[in-house]
């Protein structure tokens, strides 16, 4: 389920017009969840009192179709839901060591090239069954998203999406249904109207010039490329800037856990979503290393087999979240964010979000490529 549909369910609103939904999805995808046109964490406790999270908890540009945290409620100290035995396992080891090693690597990252390029992939479950009669089946939506950003802020967003049956049983039902390669669900109200369709591989691909030439690093803090270069490269000063930005946007009743989560999300945003200079990225790693509730889960591999170290970020007993993941069921609990970081390259390889004691993530994104390049923008290819 995409972010707009899930938010609609939370707010119990009438569906937006298709063109509004398409424009909203473009803005969300163009932020890079996945760059950086929107802060990866909007206000978790808005001043209006309504609680919501606009961005996906996957990394900025990876927020196309992953499950989304929809609501956060502050709790009194000691009332929060403990992760218990669920979620990713915690292994002994120092998150500080990993993050500080990544900071050293970040300082020597190359900065030559015409475009800041981030490529990511994600998979989520389509919220409705497809097929006819007894041949009903669930599909997974796969997406590859790429962003190219020039130093003047001009950005191109490319996406490729395709679907596959989720399980062997779903595949069997899909074959009984005639192995369709396309499912259409009405049209947009644009001129001319465009069909709203799902496709099997190679799917559908697009490349769009995004019309905003500045970066929202944190909600309410929009910076040009030149201003990004002026962010503090001292970790204490950078964290102070981020805390100010977060607190300006949060309701005064926000708990320390919610503030910490927002601060951590903005720091990670600086590591992936925006073309921050090497010194700022290093400072972001060092600031994360000093934050509470940041732990190491030890050596691990992402879904592509790339080696890294798991870093766990949670909100302690400060907040609980409620999500409606791709399968459509509602569940709540303490939010935990897991990153897989390669300290040798300083690259974030993957980002996952867990809720409560679930061992399966509610969002899961892989960062395929990140860095400066002279490669021209193009429609993403199949991986």
What confidence tens digit (pLDDT) does each residue in 119-161 have?
Answer: 999 888 888 899 999 999 999 999 999 999 888 888 899 999 9
| Global confidence as pTM | 0.70
- Spatial separation of the C-alpha atoms in residues 297 and 308, rounded to whole Å: 10
Tell me the percentage of the chain whose pLDDT exceeds 70. 70
| Per-residue DSSP letter, 8 | H
Strand, coil or helix: what is 196?
strand
Q: Which residues contact 56 (CB under 8 A, 6 or more apart)?
A: 3, 28, 33, 40, 62, 63, 64, 66, 67, 68, 363
Q: What is the pLDDT of residue 217?
A: 86
Mean pLDDT over the full length of the chain = 75
Q: Which two tokens stand for residue 364?
A: 């899961």
Q: What is the pLDDT of residue 353?
A: 80
Q: What is the pLDDT of residue 156?
A: 93
- pLDDT top residue among 76 and 265: 265
**Confidence bin at 210 (pLDDT 50/70/90):** confident
Average pLDDT score over residue span 263-286:
92
Angle 156-159-164 from CA coordinates, rounded to 5°: 175
Average pLDDT score over residue span 274-296:
93
Beta-carbon count within 10 A of 48 CB = 9
Tell the residue number behind the tokens 């000093």, with chain if given: 290
* Straight-line distance from the first to the last Cα atom of the chain, in angstroms, rounded to the nearest whole number: 22
**Confidence bin at 107 (pLDDT 50/70/90):** very high
Taking a C-beta distance cutoff of 8 angstroms, is the pair 271, 285 a contact? yes
**Confidence bin at 24 (pLDDT 50/70/90):** very low
- pLDDT top residue among 342 and 85: 342
Sign of the torsion formed by the C-alpha atoms of 355, 359, 365 and 369: positive
Burial class (CB in 10 A: 0-12, 13-18, 19+), 150: middle
Average pLDDT score over residue span 12-40:
37
Beta-carbon count within 10 A of 177 CB = 16
pLDDT tens for residues 325-341?
Answer: 444 444 567 778 889 99
**Confidence bin at 321 (pLDDT 50/70/90):** low
- Spatial separation of the C-alpha atoms in residues 153 and 36, rounded to whole Å: 10
Q: Which residues contact 332 (CB under 8 A, 6 or more apart)?
A: 81, 320, 321, 322, 323, 355, 356
Q: What is the pLDDT of residue 359?
A: 64
Q: Residue 14: pLDDT above 90?
A: no
Q: What is the pLDDT of residue 320?
A: 57
């Amino acid at each position: 389920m995409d972010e707009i549909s899930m938010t609609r369910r939370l707010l119990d609103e009438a569906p937006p017009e298709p063109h509004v939904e398409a424009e909203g999805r473009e803005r969300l995808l163009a932020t890079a969840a996945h760059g950086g046109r929107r802060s990866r964490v909007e206000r978790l406790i808005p001043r209006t009192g309504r609680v919501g999270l606009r961005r996906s908890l996957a990394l900025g540009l990876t927020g196309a179709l992953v499950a989304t945290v929809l609501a956060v409620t502050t709790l009194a100290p000691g009332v929060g839901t403990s992760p218990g035995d669920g979620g990713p396992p915690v292994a002994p080891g120092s998150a500080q060591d990993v993050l500080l090693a990544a900071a050293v690597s970040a300082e020597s990252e190359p900065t030559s090239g015409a475009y800041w390029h981030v490529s990511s992939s994600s998979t989520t479950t389509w919220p409705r069954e497809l097929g006819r009669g007894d041949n009903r089946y669930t599909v997974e939506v796969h997406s590859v998203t790429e962003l190219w950003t020039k130093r003047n802020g001009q950005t191109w967003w490319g996406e490729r999406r395709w679907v596959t049956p989720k399980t062997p049983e779903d595949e069997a039902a899909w074959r009984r249904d005639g192995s369709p390669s396309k499912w259409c669900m009405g049209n947009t109200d644009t001129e001319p109207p465009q069909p709203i369709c799902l496709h099997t591989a190679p799917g559908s691909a697009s490349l769009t010039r995004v019309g905003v030439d500045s970066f929202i690093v944190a909600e309410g803090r929009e910076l040009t490329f030149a201003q990004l270069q002026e962010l503090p490269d001292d970790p204490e000063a950078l964290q102070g800037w981020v805390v100010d930005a977060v607190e300006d946007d949060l309701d005064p009743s926000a708990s320390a856990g919610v503030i910490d989560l927002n601060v951590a999300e903005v720091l990670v945003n600086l590591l992936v979503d925006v073309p921050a200079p090497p010194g700022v990225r290093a400072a972001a790693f060092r600031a994360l290393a000093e934050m509470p509730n940041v732990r190491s889960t030890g050596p691990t591999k992402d879904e592509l087999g790339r080696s890294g170290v798991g870093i766990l970020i949670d909100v302690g007993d400060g907040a609980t979240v409620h999500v409606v993941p791709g399968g459509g069921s509602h569940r709540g609990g303490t939010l935990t964010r897991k990153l897989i970081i390669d300290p040798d390259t300083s690259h974030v390889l993957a980002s996952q979000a867990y809720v409560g004691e679930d061992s399966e993530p509610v969002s899961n994104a892989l960062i395929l490529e990140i860095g400066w390049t002279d490669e021209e923008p193009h429609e993403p290819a199949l991986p």
